[in-house]
């Protein structure tokens, strides 16, 4: 085995593509095809049985403030009326899904994302729980996670989270520095966030995740470091450290952020490395490329056991082969394909009102898709892939991917990874470049016209 020198990370960053998928799915969403979603969705639902657990993702595409950095499908509203109308249609969609099945699937986890699902009124949270109860069987330990904007914090919000049965909270922080917050239109004090964390702990919520961003406008290393210090004071069980994706050609409101205020590529990279080191020195285990967890957290335990997974919410312990998508723009995953609901809330509501599943796009997975998806997920989760195991699982379909791995380790990526005894290993210092390595197993990447977020 050859001796490896310290790699020049800045040189690597300059040499390889600046735009790479995040690989929360494979194939990635730009490959989903219009016009096939509804029939494919029905075909995939028909294959469900009551023995396999399922997960649910519910999208609430509304916020009561518009953060300029946001890349989600959401809209700003100061009134609850449009939220109420949308929510009534969401409950109808759940009933439509229930009418497609002849049994009650076992529900392993539920995730509410947005937008800001924390703006839902407590009575609607109770109605949502009742609707899910009608069509799914719950485990005693079913996880219910909700993304929370601290600006929504009222007694009614806490009552609603209790009505839903929330077990894990994900709280957006981004950055606590006032100038950075002003540049992204996200005022949020540390004290405001601290109050929410303490209140959730008092409610018995034993898993709290904080989300922070690097690469934000006017963000410096010192400002990010101070934000992380304040986050650590709140003793979260997990932290997610995402790179801000500046895509104003796709999300028009991001044009409010001045390009001149964004840190350069190398500064952005250095900020990410500093933050990762800081969180690990504080006792958190690095999970994949952008998550951190306490050593006794379920995420760390899964990572150490090789049982970590990655989906549209990031890194997860959720091993369910099926994720049911509910709400506008929501993406669902089945063993044999992906589906995506229509993005526009008006069209979504029209479909549901007409008694049709609001599915817009879909992709039926080939054997090659499944093999590549497995290899990419293991790289993203474990920083290594044993191709002997892949070939045992998938047979001859995996052989060509072994050849790719050998070529990578012996070619231009030889300083980033090694291949020995059938195992492709990413060098620890090269793990920030995991997405670049994974892209070489992506059969669609070279032909895509879609522009992704920065590689690091």
Q: For residue range 342-397, list pLDDT tens digits in order.
A: 999 999 999 999 999 999 999 999 999 999 999 999 999 999 999 999 999 999 98
Q: Which of 45, 59, 50, 148 has its CA nearest to residue 110?
A: 59
How distant, in Å, are the alpha carbons of 63, 72, 108, 129, 186 from that of 330? 16, 11, 18, 19, 24
pTM of the model: 0.93
Is residue 87 scored above 60 in pLDDT? yes
pLDDT tier for residue 6 given thresholds of 50, 70 and 90: low
Using a pLDDT cut of 70, give the percent of the chain over it: 96
Taking residues 157-172, what's their average pLDDT?
A: 97
Q: What is the pLDDT of residue 401?
A: 96
CA atoms within a 13 Å half-sphere pointing along the CA-CB vector of 122:
11
Structure tokens given for 449? 């016209």
Is residue 255 scored above 50 in pLDDT? yes
- Could you tell me if residue 341 is left (phi over 0), alpha (psi between -120 and 50 degrees) or otherwise beta? beta
Q: Which of 173, 295, 298, 153 has its CA nearest to residue 234?
A: 173
Structure tokens given for 38? 């509804």
Taking residues 218-232, what's their average pLDDT?
A: 98
List beta partners, residue 314: 311
Query: Phi and psi (nearest 5°) for 424?
Result: -90, 120
Structure tokens given for 189? 């004090």
pLDDT tens digits, residue range 421-445? 999 999 999 999 999 999 999 999 8
Q: What is the pLDDT of residue 65?
A: 87
Taking residues 167-172, what's their average pLDDT?
A: 96
pLDDT tier for residue 141 given thresholds of 50, 70 and 90: very high
Q: What is the pLDDT of residue 370?
A: 97
Residues 354 and 370: their CA atoms lie apart, in Å, by 34
Is residue 285 scored above 50 in pLDDT? yes
Q: What is the pLDDT of residue 235?
A: 97
pLDDT tens digits, residue range 27-62? 999 999 998 888 999 999 999 988 889 999 999 999
Residues 16 and 14: their CA atoms lie apart, in Å, by 6
Residues 418 and 94: their CA atoms lie apart, in Å, by 47
Is residue 253 scored above 90 in pLDDT? no
Q: What is the pLDDT of residue 5?
A: 43
Taking residues 324-337, what's their average pLDDT?
A: 96
Q: State the DSSP H helix or E strand holding residue 57, giving kind and residue range, or none if neither.
A: strand 54-60
Peptide bond before residue 35 is cis, with ω within 30 degrees of 0: no
pLDDT tier for residue 71 given thresholds of 50, 70 and 90: confident
- What is the overall mean pLDDT for the chain? 93
């Amino acid at each position: 085995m050859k001796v490896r020198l310290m790699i020049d990370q800045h040189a690597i960053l300059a040499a390889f593509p600046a735009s790479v998928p995040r690989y929360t799915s494979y194939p990635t969403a730009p490959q989903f095809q219009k016009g096939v979603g509804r029939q494919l969705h029905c075909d995939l639902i028909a294959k469900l049985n009551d023995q396999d657990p399922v997960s649910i993702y519910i999208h609430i595409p509304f916020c009561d403030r518009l953060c300029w950095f946001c890349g989600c499908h959401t809209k700003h509203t100061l009134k609850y009326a449009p939220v109420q109308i949308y929510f009534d249609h969401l409950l109808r969609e759940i009933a439509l899904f229930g009418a497609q099945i002849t049994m009650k699937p076992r529900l392993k986890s539920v995730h509410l994302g947005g937008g800001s699902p924390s703006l839902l009124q407590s009575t609607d949270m109770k109605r949502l729980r009742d609707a899910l109860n009608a069509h799914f069987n719950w485990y005693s330990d079913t996880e219910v996670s909700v993304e929370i904007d601290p600006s929504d914090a009222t007694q009614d919000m806490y009552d609603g989270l209790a009505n839903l049965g929330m077990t894990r909270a994900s709280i957006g922080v981004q950055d606590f520095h006032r100038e950075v917050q002003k540049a992204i239109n996200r005022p949020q004090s540390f004290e405001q966030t601290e109050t929410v964390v303490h209140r959730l702990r008092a409610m018995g919520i034993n898993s709290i995740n904080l989300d922070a961003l690097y690469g934000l406008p006017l963000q410096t290393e010192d400002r990010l470091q101070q934000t992380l210090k304040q986050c650590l004071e709140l003793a979260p069980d997990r932290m997610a450290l995402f790179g801000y994706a500046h895509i104003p050609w796709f999300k028009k409101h991001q044009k409010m952020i001045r390009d001149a205020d964004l840190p350069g590529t190398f500064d952005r990279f250095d900020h990410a490395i500093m933050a990762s080191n800081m969180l690990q020195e504080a006792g958190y285990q690095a999970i994949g490329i952008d998550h951190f967890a306490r050593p006794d957290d379920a995420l760390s335990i899964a990572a150490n056991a090789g049982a970590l997974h990655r989906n549209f919410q990031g890194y997860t312990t959720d091993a369910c082969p099926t994720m049911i998508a509910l709400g506008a723009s929501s993406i669902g995953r089945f063993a044999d394909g992906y589906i995506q609901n229509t993005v526009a809330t008006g069209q979504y509501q029209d479909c549901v009102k007409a008694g049709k599943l609001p599915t817009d796009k879909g992709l039926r997975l080939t054997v090659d898709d499944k093999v590549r998806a497995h290899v990419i997920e293991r790289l993203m989760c474990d920083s290594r892939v044993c191709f002997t195991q892949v070939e045992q699982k998938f047979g001859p379909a995996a052989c060509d991917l072994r050849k790719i791995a050998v070529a990578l380790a012996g070619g231009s990526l030889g300083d980033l990874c090694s291949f020995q005894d059938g195992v492709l290993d990413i060098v620890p210092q090269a793990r920030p470049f995991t997405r670049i390595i994974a892209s070489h197993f992506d059969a669609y990447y070279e032909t895509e016209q879609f522009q992704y977020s920065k590689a690091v």
